């Protein structure tokens, strides 16, 4: 599940998949992404959490089953070239290895 919140923390959008995140990214520029193990249990096998921050203060959270899947998702976003990515070293190395320059 993907949840998008405004800077006050109010939910402005929900989606079952990443479509909501991609739609919001067309309206607002993503500037930073943070990847981590989820502190709370997620539905199914999705134990890794991605938070994407947007230029207007909104942020989106989504869950992944694998850091590799998340890194590949971020790498495939050609319209997000200036995205700052933070996370554990193994995630950053996977992200950097697939990043197009």
Span 16-41, pLDDT tens digits: 989 999 999 999 999 999 998 865 65
Query: Are residues 58 and 5 in contact, defined by beta-carbon separation less than 8 angstroms?
Result: yes
Would you say residue 100 has pLDDT above 60? no
Matching residue, tokens 């949840």 = 3
Classify strands 59-64 and 30-37 as parallel, antiparallel or unpaired. unpaired
Secondary element (H or E) of residue 14 = strand 11-15
Burial pattern 63-101, b for ≥16 Cβ within 10 A else e, equals bbeebeebbebbbeeeebeebebebeeebeebbeeeeee
């Amino acid at each position: 599940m993907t949840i998008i919140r405004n800077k006050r923390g109010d939910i402005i959008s929900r989606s079952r998949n990443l479509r909501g995140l991609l739609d919001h990214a067309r309206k607002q520029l993503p500037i930073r992404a943070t990847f981590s193990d989820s502190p709370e249990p997620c539905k199914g096998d999705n134990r890794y959490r991605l938070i994407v921050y947007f230029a207007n203060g909104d942020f989106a959270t989504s869950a992944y089953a694998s850091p590799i899947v998340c890194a590949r998702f971020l790498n495939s976003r050609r319209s997000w070239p200036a995205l700052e990515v933070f996370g554990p070293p193994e995630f950053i190395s996977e992200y950097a290895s697939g990043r197009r320059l």
